Amino acid sequence: MIGRLWGTGTALLVASIILLSFFNYEIPTPLVYLTALAFFGGAGVFIFTRGLTIYVIKRCLGAVFVMWVIATLTFVLLRTLPGGPFDSEKALPPEILENLAKKYKLNEPLINQYGDYMYNLLQGDLGQSYKYINRGITSIIAESLPNSIQLGVYALIISYMIGIPMGILAGWKRGSWVDFSSMMVAMSGQSLPSFLIAPIFIMVFAKQLGWLEPALWEGPTYYIIPMVVLGIRPAAVIARLTRASVLEVIHSDYIRTARAKGLDQKTVLFKHVLRNSLIPVLSLSGPLAAAILTGSFVIEQIFAIPGIAKHLVLSVTNRDYPLILGTTLLFSLILVVANLVTDLLIAIVDPRVKMG
Amino acid sequence: MGASKTTGRSLQHEAWIALRKNKVAMVSGFLIIFVCAVALLAPWISPYPFDEQYLDQVLAGPSERHWFGTDSLGRDMLSRLIYGARISMAVGVITAFVSLIIGTAYGALAGWFGGWTDSALMRIIDILDSIPSIILLILVKLVFEAADIIGNPELKALTSMLLALSLVSWVSLARVVRGQVLQVKQMSYVEAARSMGASQLRMVAQHILPNILGPVIVLLTFQIPSNILAESFLSFLGLGLQPPYSSWGVLANDGWRSMSSYPHLMITPGVAIFVAMLAFNLLGDGLRDAFDPQMRGRA
Amino acid sequence: MVLFKSVFISCLIFTVGLTACTKKSNLEYGLDVKDTLRINIEQEPPSLDWSKAVDVTSSLVTNNLMDGLLEYNLADPELGVVAALATDWKASDNAKVWTFTIRKGVKWTDGVEFTGQHVIDGWERLLDPKVASEYAYFLFDVKNAKAFNGGKIKDFKEVGIKFNDEGQLVVELEKPMSFFPMLLTHHATFPVRKDLIEKHGDHWTDPDKMVSLGPYKLKLWDHDKNLVMERFDDYYGEKAKIKNILCYMINEYSTAMNLFEAGKLDFLYSLPFKELPILKTKPGFRKNILLSSYYYGFNIKKAPFDNVKVRKAFVHAVDRKQITDLLAADHTPMRGWIPPGMFGYEENRGLKFDPELARKLMDEAGFKDRAKVPRINLAFNTNENHQRIAENVQAQLKKNLGVEVQVQNEEWKVYLSRLRTDTPSIYRLGWLADFPDPSTFMSLMTSVSENNHTNWSSKKYDELVSEGGAALDKEKRRAIYSEAQKLLTEDEVPVMPVYAAARQVMISERTQNFPLNSIERYLFKGVSFK
């Protein structure tokens, strides 16, 4: 009971932060602290009481290993790639190239450079950008990540808000026109690249109707088109999965029993079917986070949103080695954490799940 | 042993019967066959050569001469679309098969041997899963392309794209195959055969493969549209194919920026991508229902 | 039911909040649209440290924040040099020694008085090997500067810049240079405040720390998003007319265009070229020719381009006018090496389009049987525009010469590294003038130039170029460059000039006195609203 109350409270706190950020209100710092406390405290207590401590520690150690492999792999791939950070249309004289190489230690043996990078990484230093002279990678991330998280979270929420009701309705009324049409809509949403959906939305809602803004990232009227365009694909995936799992649950023995006992249809739906069919959907959060991360580059580019995905892609074009490595590691970290959180969430919702 | 074979065959047979009943899936199937036919017959059915430039007709809208208009070099859009089908389908299908081969072999290996091999192989998959696919795609594509393994520049761009896409997409297949193999391994007849001392290879070939065929075909069908999508994404990044050849992704990326002025540049490839991907997704859905005995007859 | 209720309630809050928020202040950061010029600078400026910045975006910003010893008269189509921080300048010893009189009474934004020492500090910093500035080569012609940058000389006192007894700055060059004053309009050579850089380190360009002396000062820098400049009221020259400049960093052209059409931008300088025919008819459209060159180079070490006749045949076979017509972007087709609008331009220099002569030359070169022509790659970096041009050239060569070439695109940095290591048979490059003097183009093809990837070298050409750079007499200079151009584009032909680019911009209707010019120096101090 306490657990449930705690969970609801934390969810409400998170929701209030998201709503405040959406409407561009200043988020009070105590609220952030409170939420963090509730979230991590709750998670800690849960992990401890369920005897998951060792499992979580193991996963974290595994994550560190994974990050190390990724850092190494990216480092090697980058250095195999022709073209250096200081190649430009106007070629530089050798004296200047040498000064630059000396400054950024690019003339040292690769193994030393790798060692230096790893050593600094261990101390939490991601280095300095080559392209954005004098800017630290950490500060670039600190300035652009919040916008990307905002975009990603909105997209995720909108996709759940559209996908779940649609999937439930389709599964519950299977075979009807509701089922058919909502599945067709979901499929259509999956069948167009977002860089084709975005201009259509801009054309209709910004240019023709004038309800929303065509680009930039300033307030609610700016947020809606990007988050919907980014959320369409995940929404479609969620809707289809929800439908499938609703179908499966409906045909399971205990629901049949419940129905046979003559329980009210709605009670069956909301008490039994929903809870059980949402578990597989929840387990999709990790891959969905990955999909949204990948998709956000296109959206950030088209809507001129100052986010981190843009850096991830453009830094390759600029051969800005520290920035590529930093953003890649960041994205990997997000993926790893998202997967861990998803697994823990499933454990919370479904006590039958065994971990470890 | 003979019994298991019959089960395998009848499973596929039953699936086929179920699929035939599914009208949406059948229509999608025919659409896909149509697109493939268009791709194969491109040189004979396209009204103009795909790279012929009609400089007096630059950026013209749809007309009697050019049904879908012309592009910024005055090339016929319909012909480019027809030739684009070739590349897009090739990218979608070849990549799917390459990742199928890698994924099945890998997954079957992990699932069959289990234990230490399994956990080592799965750790590698965990790592690949944690790299943002976008960076992997870009880096691998660029590294392959710059590596100068293939002399012909057009072929180079295409193969590097195929390789990059395959490398990113086999992982999910491997996971599914491993799960399936684990399941099949526990079935009583497989265990029986195993205890009777049947050779490993024979076991895999005779019992495992037929049993995992269904889910694999379904996955394959879903893999193709996501490859087409990934290809268009690479085009968006400016890492698409070599001119003058072009895929639907390249065409669509060419078009979207000027949507308000020259809608035909975006709409034609957009519709082509949309229809093909929808058809593959619907067919995949139909196949899944058909192969899953539990789901059969419920759609 | 709980789920549906909560969804419903959140939707309700959503809509209410939405209507509440539609009433917004008229611009971000509390700026008033009436005295704010809103421009798109396309990307985050990589650096506002003018000794280190190398790109267009950073230049655009720093040129409005700072002044140099001299500046261009933007009202003059030939872009003559006028006084700025130096009130007077003169050459002696046949343009090898230059003397500058420093302006008195100029104040930095923190109230400190500007002195000549700031200029020397700036040059020392630019040339310091530890700073590793990419534009250090701008001053390589100053005596001992190159050696100092290369670490061969440790003491900056040996570099050719010092005060004379009257407090004037005296610059001694390695060789005579008639166009030296032009270099002093470039931000790389601007003065710096050594004291502040030592105090703040790399953070001296932060808005709260940055000190400059130009018509505008840096007010705010919201990374990757916006940058705001505000009028500097104690500026020594004529004060800026518009109070604020709000810069957006939107690098998708079509997005910027959408915002312009929605009335949210006053100025953008890259237009989606496919839409030019449509944009041309709109009221804010403006264009001008840039001092630039788009060209193809031949790798003369690779067959068949080791044969000058083949090179000539290729140039004769490509109708450059057809390309510019196709692009419909007001570019000027070009046959010579010096672009139109620049001193030394000759309209009839270079090889004409003549397919018949081209075929004849090809036959004479021993390729009567075109199948014998070795495989030719025409390379360019991946870009829609370059692709259109390359494909058109490919088609023209096929039609006019009967030669099949293979177009080949590569990602930008891969392409650049290939130019260095294994230059393709035909490659594309462009050049935008650093300063409005032909020497910037002529020195491009000398044997010592890092930008000459053709493997072509000519002693005579090198001599002509250095002679031309030293000549003070205009007519003599013109004759020298004419001879060099003839050698380059008619006799030896290692390059095929294609066009001089035009820049198209959109300027909102309320904006006036916008100083468009051929070297893309966007100075906003004279701009005003109607």
Which chains would you list as touching B if contact means 3+ CB atom pairs under 8 Å?
A, C
Q: Do C382 and B55 touch (CB under 8 A)?
A: no
Q: Quick check: C388 contacting B, CB < 8 Å?
A: yes
Query: Tens digits of per-residue pLDDT, A67-93?
Result: 999 999 999 999 888 888 988 888 889
Q: Give contacts of C 390-419 with B, CB under 8 A.
A: 390-392, 394-395, 406-411, 414
Q: What is the pLDDT of residue C39?
A: 95
- Rounded-to-integer distance, Cα B276 and Cα B283, Å: 11
Which DSSP state fits C36?
E
User: Is A26's pLDDT higher than 60?
Assistant: yes
State which residues of chain B have pLDDT below 50. Answer: 1-8, 295-299
Decide which of C245 and C474 is more confident. C245
Number of domains in chain A: 1
Which two structure tokens, joined as six digits, stand for A213? 């803004």
Q: What is the pLDDT of residue C11?
A: 52
Query: Tens digits of per-residue pLDDT, B112-149?
Result: 888 888 889 988 988 888 888 888 888 888 888 877 67
Query: Tens digits of per-residue pLDDT, C315-352?
Result: 999 999 999 988 888 899 999 999 998 999 998 999 99
Q: What is the pLDDT of residue B196?
A: 73
Assign C379 to helix, strand or coil: strand
User: In which region does residue C341 sit, left (phi positive, over 0), alpha (psi from -120 to 50) or beta (all else)?
Assistant: left
Q: What is the pLDDT of residue B297?
A: 41
The dihedral built from the CA positions of residue B50, B56, B57 and B58, taken in this order, carries a sign that is: positive
Q: Do A207 and B260 touch (CB under 8 A)?
A: yes
Chain B residues touching residue C387 (CB < 8 angstroms) = 243
Q: Which of B87, B60, B90, B243 is nearest to C409 (CA)?
A: B243
Chain A residues touching residue B130 (CB < 8 angstroms) = 66-67, 70, 332, 335-336, 339
Q: Of the candidates A198, A251, A297, which has its C-beta nearest B134's C-beta? A: A297
Q: What is the pLDDT of residue A258?
A: 75
Asked if residue A354 belongs to a domain, the reply is no
- Phi and psi dihedrals of B267, rounded to 5? -65, -45
Query: Tens digits of per-residue pLDDT, A113-122?
Result: 999 999 999 9
Assign C67 to helix, strand or coil: coil
Q: Quick check: B292 contacting C, CB < 8 Å?
A: no
Q: What is the ipTM of this complex?
A: 0.87
Q: Do B59 and C408 touch (CB under 8 A)?
A: no
CATH number of the structural domain spanning residue A247: 1.10.3720.10
The answer to whether the beta carbons of residues C168 and C100 sit under 8 Å apart is: yes
Q: Quick check: C226 contacting B, CB < 8 Å?
A: no
Chain B residues touching residue A340 (CB < 8 angstroms) = none
Q: Do B143 and A248 touch (CB under 8 A)?
A: no
Q: Which of B240, B250, B271, B233 is nearest to B72 (CA)?
A: B250
Searching chain C, which residue's CA lies closest to the CA of residue B144? C414
Residue C355 pLDDT grade (very low, low, confident, very high; cuts 50, 70, 90): very high
Q: Of the candidates C13, C255, C451, which has its C-beta nearest A303's C-beta? A: C255
Q: Do A192 and B130 touch (CB under 8 A)?
A: no
Residue C358 pLDDT grade (very low, low, confident, very high; cuts 50, 70, 90): very high
Q: Give contacts of C 392-411 with A, CB under 8 A.
A: 411
Asked if residue A59 belongs to a domain, the reply is no
- Phi and psi dihedrals of C357, rounded to 5? -60, -40
Q: Of the candidates C24, C255, C258, which has its C-beta nearest A219's C-beta? A: C24
Decide which of A346 and A157 is more confident. A157
Chain B residues touching residue A248 (CB < 8 angstroms) = 294
- Phi and psi dihedrals of C512, rounded to 5? -140, 170
DSSP string covering B199-219: -HHHHIIIIIHHHHHHHHHHH
Asked if residue A79 belongs to a domain, the reply is no
Q: What is the pLDDT of residue A43?
A: 84
Q: At what angle do helices B77-113 and B209-236 cross, to 10 degrees?
A: 140
Which two structure tokens, joined as six digits, stand for C357? 């002569």
Residue A233 distance to chain B (closest CA, Å): 11
Q: Quick check: C429 contacting A, CB < 8 Å?
A: yes
- Could you identify the residue written with the tokens 């040498």? A98
User: Is A241's pLDDT higher than 50?
Assistant: yes
Q: Quick check: B281 contacting A, CB < 8 Å?
A: yes
Query: Tens digits of per-residue pLDDT, C92-123?
Result: 878 899 999 999 999 999 999 999 999 999 99
Q: Quick check: C162 contacting A, CB < 8 Å?
A: no
The answer to whether the beta carbons of residues C430 and C385 sit under 8 Å apart is: no
The answer to whether the beta carbons of residues B96 and B223 sit under 8 Å apart is: yes
Q: What is the pLDDT of residue C389?
A: 92
Asked if residue A316 belongs to a domain, the reply is yes
User: Is C1's pLDDT higher than 50?
Assistant: no
- Rounded-to-integer distance, Cα A281 and Cα A241, Å: 6
The mean pLDDT value of chain C amounts to: 90
Q: What is the pLDDT of residue A303?
A: 93
Instruction: Note the helical H segments in B22-76.
Output: 23-40, 42-45
- Could you identify the residue written with the tokens 């490595």? A325
Q: Do B72 and C274 touch (CB under 8 A)?
A: yes
Tell me what the mean pLDDT of segment C400-421 comes to. Answer: 89
Which two structure tokens, joined as six digits, stand for C509? 């209707």
Those residues with Cβ within 8 angstroms of residue B296's Cβ, 6 or more apart along the chain or in another chain: B14, B18, B289, B290
Residue C101 distance to chain A (closest CA, Å): 30
Q: Do C391 and B51 touch (CB under 8 A)?
A: yes
- Rounded-to-integer distance, Cα A166 and Cα B234, Å: 31
Q: Counting beta carbons within 10 angstroms of the beta carbon of residue A167, is it exposed (0 to 12), middle (13 to 18) or buried (19 or more)?
A: buried
- Rounded-to-integer distance, Cα A312 and Cα A318, Å: 11
Instruction: Note the helical H segments in chain B.
Output: 2-21, 23-40, 42-45, 77-113, 115-130, 133-146, 153-186, 188-195, 200-203, 209-236, 248-256, 263-291
Q: Quick check: B260 contacting A, CB < 8 Å?
A: yes
The answer to whether the beta carbons of residues B223 and B169 sit under 8 Å apart is: yes
Pairing state between β C406-410 and C377-381: parallel
Q: Do B282 and A187 touch (CB under 8 A)?
A: yes
Q: Quick check: C22 contacting A, CB < 8 Å?
A: yes
Q: What is the pLDDT of residue B178?
A: 87
Q: Do B239 and C409 touch (CB under 8 A)?
A: no
Residue A313's domain comprises 138-349
- Rounded-to-integer distance, Cα C109 and Cα C190, Å: 15
Q: Quick check: C254 contacting B, CB < 8 Å?
A: yes
Those residues with Cβ within 8 angstroms of residue A350's Cβ, 6 or more apart along the chain or in another chain: A279
The answer to whether the beta carbons of residues C105 and C94 sit under 8 Å apart is: no
Best mutation target among A97, A128, A133 (most C Cβ atoms within 10 Å) is: A133
Q: What is the pLDDT of residue B286?
A: 84
- Rounded-to-integer distance, Cα A82 and Cα C416, Å: 9
The answer to whether the beta carbons of residues C428 and C295 sit under 8 Å apart is: yes
Q: At what angle do helices A321-349 and A274-282 cross, to 10 degrees?
A: 160
Distances (CA, A) of A135 to A322, B146, B178, C129: 11, 30, 46, 20
The mean pLDDT value of chain A amounts to: 87
Tell me what the mean pLDDT of segment C220-233 comes to. Answer: 94
User: Is A53's pLDDT higher than 90?
Assistant: no
Q: What is the pLDDT of residue B243?
A: 65
Q: What is the pLDDT of residue B296?
A: 44
Asked if residue A7 belongs to a domain, the reply is no
- Rounded-to-integer distance, Cα A204 and Cα A198, Å: 10
Residue C150 distance to chain A (closest CA, Å): 5
Question: Which segment of A151-165, B174-188, C69-83, C164-178 scores lowest on mean pLDDT?
Answer: B174-188
The answer to whether the beta carbons of residues A224 and A212 sit under 8 Å apart is: yes
Tell me what the mean pLDDT of segment C66-84 comes to. Answer: 90
Searching chain A, which residue's CA lies closest to the CA of residue B249? A193
Q: Do B135 and A69 touch (CB under 8 A)?
A: no
Asked if residue A112 belongs to a domain, the reply is no
Asked if residue A209 belongs to a domain, the reply is yes
Percentage of chain C exceeding pLDDT 70:
95
Q: Quick check: A192 contacting B, CB < 8 Å?
A: yes
Asked if residue A31 belongs to a domain, the reply is no
- Rounded-to-integer distance, Cα C194 and Cα A215, Å: 41
Q: What is the pLDDT of residue B4?
A: 42
The dihedral built from the CA positions of residue B66, B71, B76 and B77, taken in this order, carries a sign that is: negative
Q: Quick check: B49 contacting C, CB < 8 Å?
A: no
Report CA Rg, chain B: 22
Q: Of the candidates C275, C325, C387, which has its C-beta nearest B258's C-beta? A: C275
Question: Which segment of A326-335, B159-168, C53-62, C484-493 scores lowest on mean pLDDT?
Answer: B159-168
Q: Which of A79, A75, B245 is nearest to C413 (CA)?
A: A79
Q: Do A324 and B135 touch (CB under 8 A)?
A: yes
Q: Give contacts of B 90-109 with A, CB under 8 A.
A: none
- Rounded-to-integer distance, Cα C445 and Cα C452, Å: 5
Assign B41 to helix, strand or coil: coil
